[in-house]
């Protein structure tokens, strides 16, 4: 079965359209997954302060911006 060529004019081989579309679909799926996970995911818990004088939400790893 000959596939209609609509991307890259088949210049990179007979299945370049399928490969390009496959990669695009994979990335768009990853986009969807990251969309849903980022809706519910919490930022990392505030690390314990290195400096006891510092407020609890401040360290060299995490600093909650006001």
* Shortest Å, Cβ 64 to another protein: 5
Which 32-51 residues touch another protein, going by CB under 8 A? 32, 34-36, 38-39, 42-44, 51
| 11 binding another protein? (CB under 8 A) | yes
| 24 binding another protein? (CB under 8 A) | yes
| 9 binding another protein? (CB under 8 A) | yes
User: Read out DSSP for 31-47?
Assistant: HHHHHHHHHHPPPPPPP
* H/E segment holding residue 6: none
- 26 in Cβ contact with 34 (< 8 Å): no
- The angle at the Cα of 51, spanning 50 to 54, to the nearest 5 degrees, equals 115
Among residues 1 and 41, whose Cβ is nearest to another protein? 41
């Amino acid at each position: 079965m000959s596939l209609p060529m609509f991307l890259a004019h088949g210049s990179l081989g007979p299945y370049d359209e399928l490969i390009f579309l496959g990669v695009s679909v994979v990335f768009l799926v990853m986009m969807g997954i990251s969309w849903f996970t980022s809706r519910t995911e919490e930022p990392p818990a505030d690390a314990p302060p290195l400096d006891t004088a510092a407020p609890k939400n401040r360290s060299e790893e995490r600093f909650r911006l006001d």
